[in-house]
Each structure stands twice: as C-alpha cells, then as structure tokens.
Amino acid sequence: MATPFAPLAPGSTIGILGGGQLGRMLSQAAGRLGFDVVILDPEDNSPAGRVSRGQIVAAYDDPTALNVFGRVCDVVTFEFENVPATSMERLAEAGALVAPGPVALAVTQDRVEEKTFLNGVGAATVAFAAIDSLDDLTAALDTLGTPSVLKTRREGYDGKGQVWIKSPRQAEAAFEAIEGRPAVLEARADFARELSIIAARGRDGAVAVYPLGENRHAGGVLRTTLAPAVVDARTERRARAIARAVMEGLEYVGVIGIELFDLGNGQLLVNEIAPRVHNTGHWTQDGCVCDQFEQHIRAVAGWPLGPTAAHARVEMQNLLGEEVEQWSKLAAKADARLHLYGKTEARPGRKMAHVNRVRPL
Amino acid sequence: MATPFAPLAPGSTIGILGGGQLGRMLSQAAGRLGFDVVILDPEDNSPAGRVSRGQIVAAYDDPTALNVFGRVCDVVTFEFENVPATSMERLAEAGALVAPGPVALAVTQDRVEEKTFLNGVGAATVAFAAIDSLDDLTAALDTLGTPSVLKTRREGYDGKGQVWIKSPRQAEAAFEAIEGRPAVLEARADFARELSIIAARGRDGAVAVYPLGENRHAGGVLRTTLAPAVVDARTERRARAIARAVMEGLEYVGVIGIELFDLGNGQLLVNEIAPRVHNTGHWTQDGCVCDQFEQHIRAVAGWPLGPTAAHARVEMQNLLGEEVEQWSKLAAKADARLHLYGKTEARPGRKMAHVNRVRPL
C-alpha cells in the first residue's frame, strides 16, 4: 500500500536513474517546482545530466554509486523499466524512497508476468504462452496459430528482441534468432488502431488519467501521437478503468504509459505497460496545463496530482536521426512546439527531438 | 544595425550573466530547445547554475572568468541590466556575440540617458531633471514641484536608491539619503494604473509584442500582474508603437520589459525599460504558447520569433520571503501553476517563487 508521506519540500533532491530525453524532461519539470535533480547514468554529460544539478557517472548496478546516489536523493525514480532489482534494493538500503516501487518493476520487466498480471486485474491481452524450449514453441504455435510473434520475456524495446513467425516451419529459426532465451509467444492482434493512455497515481492513492492518444508506429518505433484521440465514450471509459485497475494492482506511484490495441468492435487489449513517462505522452507538454513530466514529479514527491484535461489538440511527431535537421524549418512555424533533447550524435533512428503541432480542440 | 546571423544550432552553448530566477527560467527555456547553458555568477550553486550544464563562479567583472566565459559560449546574454561596460567589452574580445548589445545596456543603466532616449523616440515620460548638486536639486524642485522622487542615475531596483520629496525643505535630507550621487528628479505621475508590455526583436529586425499586463506594486516591489490587461484598442496600439520605437531605437535583440503609466486619459508614459526578461512577463509561461523566456532565447540565438497571442487570462502573483511556504496549499489548486526558483534562504521580501492562476480568456 502507498504509505503516508509528507509532500517533499522544494529544495529537496530528486534522483533519476537514466540520463536520456525522458530523464531530461523529468529534470526540467522538477526544476520548475524548485527541486534539485541528480542523474545516475554511465554516459558522461548525458542529455539529462546537462540540465541537472549533478550527475553520477556510473553503471546502473554499481554498488558504491548507488549508495551515494541513494544518500543524496530524497526520492529516486527512473526513466526506463529495466532497472536491476538489486539496484532497487541497494537504493532502499541507502535510505532512498524509490517510486514507482519494486512490484511495478518486477511485473513490467517480464512479458509473461506482465500479461498474467494484466489478465488478473481484468485487462484483456492477446492470447500468449510462455516459451522455454523449442518444444514449448512448437506446441504454442499449434494453439495460437500463425502469424504470431516471439518475444524475449525480458528487455527489448522499439521492436528489438522479437521476431514474427509466419508458419510453424519457421519455429526453429525464430527460436535461434532470440538465442533460445526465455520468451513469450503472442497471438497476432487484429486491431483497427493503436491507442495509449497516460495516467498517474499519487502516494495518497489518487488517480489522474489523461485523454487517450492515437499512435502510429513504423519499424517498431513510434512516429506520431494524435491526442486527444477521437474515441467513443465507452472506449474512453474502458481505457480509464484499465488504467485505474493496473495502477491499483501494482500499488503504483508515478506516471504510467499503457499501450492499447483498439479492435474496432468495442474491445481493447493491453499491448504493454511502461512504468514511467512515455513517448506517447509527450503531447501533454503542449496540450495540457500539467504535463506528464510534472505529473510524475508530483506523484513521486507526494504532491497532489495536477489537472489532466486537454486545452488543445496536439499532433506529436518524433524526429529520428537526421530528421532533427528540420529544426530550423520547424522553428519558424507558429503552431510547431519544438522539444530538442541535446543529443550530440544523430545516429540513424535515434530519438533526437519531437515536435508538437498545436490545434484548437 | 542587426547583422545577418545564421540561427544558432541546437547543441550550441548560451551563456547567461547572472544566476537568479530570471537566469534559471532562461536556462530552462534554452534547454527545451536543445541548447547547453553556462552561467556566470559569483554565488556558487546559484538557482540558474543548478539547472544548467555548468557555472563559472566569479565576479561579473573578473577578466579571466569573462575570457573563459566568452570563449565557451556562442552567445552571451544577461538577466540584469547593471552589467559593467568593461565586462561587455571583454566578452566581445573573447569572441562571444552579446545580446542585447552595448547600446541597450548603456542607455538603460542611466535613468537620465534612458529618459532622454525615450523622449527622443517619441515615448513620453514624466518631466525630469538631471541632478549633480544640491543647487541642481533646489532648482529642479522649483520647476517640477512636489511631491517628486529623487533617484540615483545608476543602479537601484525594486524601490532601492530612491527617495520621495514632499516639500522643498526636504531637499538636503533627500540629497544626503542618496549620498550625493548623480541623480535624477522625476515629477510625480498622476496615473490611473500601471501597465507593462513585454516585446521582442529578432536579429532580423522582426518584432513580436505580447498583450499588455496590468501590475500592482507594494513597497516598490511587484506583487501581481493581470494579463492580458483590459485596455482599449487605442491604448494597446500606442503601447505596441512605443515598444517597437524603443527596440528599433536601441537596435535591440532580445526580450524587453517596458513599464508604463496609464494616465487614464488616453495617455501613456514610460516609467522605465528593462533590457531583459521581466517579472511582469512571467504570466506568459502559462498564458502563451511561447513564453518570454523561450522568446528571448530565440531572439539572441537568431531563431525566428515565436507567437505572442494569449490563450488564457493569467493572474501572476509573486511569492516573497515566507510566502513561499504557501507552495503546499497552492500545489493542490488545479488553476494554480507554481514556479519555484530553488532558492534556499527565504529572506524577507526575497522573490522565491511565483504562481500563475489560469482562467479562460
């Protein structure tokens, strides 16, 4: 259960594990509320470190670094879900409050655990099976049919660590492609569109949910989010109920991102959940008074949650790799709100910036 | 004249002279656009330094520090107008572009120069006289009458360095109160209300003007700004014309704050101009898509200026000294947008934070 907790006073220090763009935008939000921020990231001068009070340059599982980090920070949070469980333990030992907590991390780090949890709280997913051997895979392909997708249970994001299987004959090659790691086979969802919902839960158990976003991916990477998505009231209600059930089930504190398949027949399936601020929530920066980054800081600092209503319709577009060169053209457009991450090297496909195009509701 | 200038690419370094709340909010805006920021301020761990890539801890006239600062920064700007002219020269020698430029600083650092300049570009002020001796003061009191206000020509802000004279008999005491420094005597303006206008001029000479704000002061310190102020079209037009004339006359690059006396009879007098982002422009953070801080960064970086229309009505209130303790109550109000400056010591009267209360237009 969320424990009683006096709201953290401005001037306190918030620690963020991970120094990428999510950490950077979290740090900027924390700064506006008067907090100091310290980043832990192995890359020196990380995007987040450059806008924060300080950065500890160390591996995420470095015991000494975690000890120092846990001691200088009043609360520690993270920008990615693959935080080692031992790191969480070390931070707790050093006296730092960590949010979201270990339950949320353990569940979302493992695709089988996550789907099992989701079904348990009444949130439907595609049919799936845990795969530990080629025999498991062959049997599961019989049950789930093809096409289906084989994903490693742990790690993997933006389409990495997964392979589509189009016929049972591809089973062996697919299992080799993921190097025989523990995996999950997922039936294909025959969805009409991809939606997502960004929500938050405070230390007091209060829940706040943003309007839904509609997402387009390409090559496994998010390209655009349009929000608020045009959805009927029933879908909106269902999505909000899923968000609440998931957060309560995880005893969650912070912002969560939940990806949904809209089957077009009134049914929603949860694709995956991310226990952190989420790329599909970037639209809130220019569409809401209190964006997902401030909301997350409020939640982990024990502040009351902020308002989540949209005051504008936003089309968020990721700028990947060299697309960031468009900045000078976009800077001249009155409706284009640019958010650049301060990354020096524009490697192909790397998330460099995003632009929110703002329209009246 | 503004010289041609390729827009500064994200990843470039912007220097800010001064590490207080204005520097902090400028740095946060620069960070959102992907810039690195370095602060120069004698106070270690200044509010701005704590959210920036780095801080050089040195006096504003330290030649070595200015040399280093000028060399690491692509553009240097400042959060206060009392930058020594020699510091500006040293920065230019070190190869840094400085904006706003030396003309704007020289004019606004001296109340007599400033009023003379204003009258020269057609912007009316109160009647005034330069005071170098007690004889000057006695003569000026004859002409301007009492009550009138004696202000040092240089420095002084938030009501400091000035004394009201209610009768000619107080002349000697007043002159002593300002320690016989070069001064200006200003006739009292019989104004209905105080307005201000925040405007920007880009390197290409483009001008952008925000809606007017209406201000309330107490004890010489700004307490609230209500914006957009309710003004007739003629007053709005006049204020905009003043802003344009002032910025063009100063070959200005950046955001400027212009305080106005509204005489209530259709006439506007300029009270003073500040060559920087301005406390009466904080409302733009929650009332406009592009706030005064991003606007200033855009201007000094040679970017196109952003839009200045208001999408909400905002009441900005400064939180001084212990008033900052209201943060926990304000954090719970959905219409209250808190901006805290990360100052550790809440000295009486010190600007610690502000809150923007947002209402529909």
Answer with the one of B139, B161, B187 that is the final residue of a domain: B187
- The predicted pLDDT at position B155 comes to 84
Instruction: Answer yes or no: are the C-beta atoms of A49 and A39 closer than 8 Å.
Output: yes
Per-residue pLDDT tens over the stretch A350-360: 999 999 999 99
Instruction: Work out whether strand B13-17 and strand B75-78 pair parallel, antiparallel, or are unpaired.
Output: parallel
Q: Is A180 on the interface with B (CB under 8 A)?
A: no
Instruction: Tell me how far apart the alpha carbons of residues B296 and B214 are, in angstroms, rounded to a whole number.
Output: 21
* A116 part of a folded domain: no
Answer with the one of B163, B187, B211 that is the final residue of a domain: B187
Verify that B182 and B163 share a domain, yes or no. yes
* A3 part of a folded domain: no
Q: Which CATH number covers residue B81?
A: 3.40.50.20
Asked whether the predicted pLDDT for residue A4 surpasses 60, the reply is no
- Tens of pLDDT along chain B (361 residues) come to 344 578 999 999 999 999 999 999 999 999 999 999 999 999 999 999 999 999 999 999 999 999 999 999 999 999 999 899 899 999 999 999 999 999 999 999 999 999 999 999 999 999 999 999 999 999 999 999 999 999 999 987 666 789 999 999 999 999 999 999 999 999 999 999 999 999 999 999 999 999 999 999 998 899 999 999 999 999 999 999 999 999 999 999 999 999 999 999 989 999 999 999 999 999 999 999 999 999 999 999 999 999 999 999 999 999 999 999 999 999 999 999 999 999 989 999 999 999 999 999 8
Instruction: Tell me how far apart the alpha carbons of residues B159 and B219 are, in angstroms, rounded to a whole number.
Output: 7
Instruction: Answer yes or no: are the C-beta atoms of B303 and A331 closer than 8 Å.
Output: yes
Asked whether the predicted pLDDT for residue A6 surpasses 60, the reply is yes
Instruction: Answer yes or no: are the C-beta atoms of B253 and B200 closer than 8 Å.
Output: no
Does B271 belong to an annotated binding site? Answer: yes
- The predicted pLDDT at position A1 comes to 38
Q: Is B306 on the interface with A (CB under 8 A)?
A: yes
Residue A52 phi, psi dihedral angles, 5° rounding = -120, 165
* Residues of chain A neighbouring B45 (CB-CB closer than 8 A): 53
Verify that B131 and B202 share a domain, yes or no. no
User: Concatenated DSSP letters for A117-132?
Assistant: HHHHTT-----EEEES
* For A35, nearest residue in chain B (alpha carbons): B342
Per-residue pLDDT tens over the stretch B292-344: 999 999 999 999 999 999 999 999 999 999 999 999 999 999 999 999 999 98
Verify that B300 and B253 share a domain, yes or no. yes
Verify that B254 and B272 share a domain, yes or no. yes
Instruction: Work out whether strand A36-40 and strand A13-17 pair parallel, antiparallel, or are unpaired.
Output: parallel
Q: Which two tokens stand for residue A35?
A: 């907090």
Helix (H) or strand (E) holding B222: strand B221-227
Does A295 belong to an annotated binding site? Answer: no
* For B308, nearest residue in chain A (alpha carbons): A334
* A6 part of a folded domain: no
Verify that B318 and B345 share a domain, yes or no. yes
Instruction: Answer yes or no: are the C-beta atoms of A75 and A301 closer than 8 Å.
Output: yes
Per-residue pLDDT tens over the stretch A62-101: 999 999 999 999 999 999 998 998 999 999 899 999 999 9
Instruction: Answer yes or no: are the C-beta atoms of A253 and A203 closer than 8 Å.
Output: yes
Q: Which CATH number covers residue A288?
A: 3.30.470.20
Verify that B213 and B173 share a domain, yes or no. no
Answer with the one of B98, B117, B152 that is the final residue of a domain: B98
- The predicted pLDDT at position B159 comes to 65
Contact state of B28 with A51 under an 8 Å Cβ cutoff? yes
Instruction: Answer yes or no: are the C-beta atoms of A171 and A129 closer than 8 Å.
Output: no
Contact state of B311 with A306 under an 8 Å Cβ cutoff? no
Asked whether the predicted pLDDT for residue A2 surpasses 60, the reply is no
The arithmetic mean of pLDDT across residues A230-257, rounded, is 97
Q: Which CATH number covers residue B154?
A: 3.30.1490.20
Verify that B213 and B330 share a domain, yes or no. yes
Verify that A344 and A292 share a domain, yes or no. yes
* B261 part of a folded domain: yes
Asked whether the predicted pLDDT for residue A116 surpasses 90, the reply is yes
Q: Quick count: other Cβ atoms within 10 Å of Cβ A277? A: 29
Helix (H) or strand (E) holding B87: helix B85-93
Report the complex ipTM: 0.94
Per-residue pLDDT tens over the stretch B7-52: 999 999 999 999 999 999 999 999 999 999 999 999 999 999 999 9
Least Cα distance to A316 among A297, A334, A332, A338 occurs for A338
Asked whether the predicted pLDDT for residue A312 surpasses 90, the reply is yes
Q: In terms of DSSP H, where are the helices of chain A?
A: 21-32, 63-72, 85-93, 102-108, 111-120, 134-144, 171-177, 233-249, 284-287, 292-300, 327-330
Contact state of B289 with A286 under an 8 Å Cβ cutoff? yes
Domain of B36 in residue numbering reads as: 13-98
DSSP character at residue B288: B
* A109 part of a folded domain: no
Verify that A225 and A169 share a domain, yes or no. no
- The predicted pLDDT at position B4 comes to 53
- The predicted pLDDT at position B2 comes to 42
Domain count, chain B: 3
Residue given tokens 């009927």 in the structure block: A232
* B69 part of a folded domain: yes
What angle (nearest 5°) sits at the alpha carbon of residue B243, between those of residues B151 and B128?
A: 25
Verify that A41 and A181 share a domain, yes or no. no
Residues of A numbered 73-92 whose beta carbons fall under 8 angstroms of chain B's beta carbons: which are they?
A: none
* A294 part of a folded domain: yes
* A113 part of a folded domain: no
Per-residue pLDDT tens over the stretch A184-229: 999 999 999 999 999 999 999 999 999 999 999 998 899 999 999 9
Contact state of B334 with A307 under an 8 Å Cβ cutoff? yes
Asked whether the predicted pLDDT for residue A157 surpasses 70, the reply is no
- The predicted pLDDT at position B158 comes to 64
Verify that B183 and B203 share a domain, yes or no. no
For chain B, the 3-state helix, strand and coil shares in percent, each to the nearest 5, are 30, 30, 40
CB-CB: which of A10, A53, A311 is closest to B340? A10
Least Cα distance to B166 among B150, B190, B183 occurs for B150
The arithmetic mean of pLDDT across residues A268-286, rounded, is 97
Verify that B75 and B169 share a domain, yes or no. no
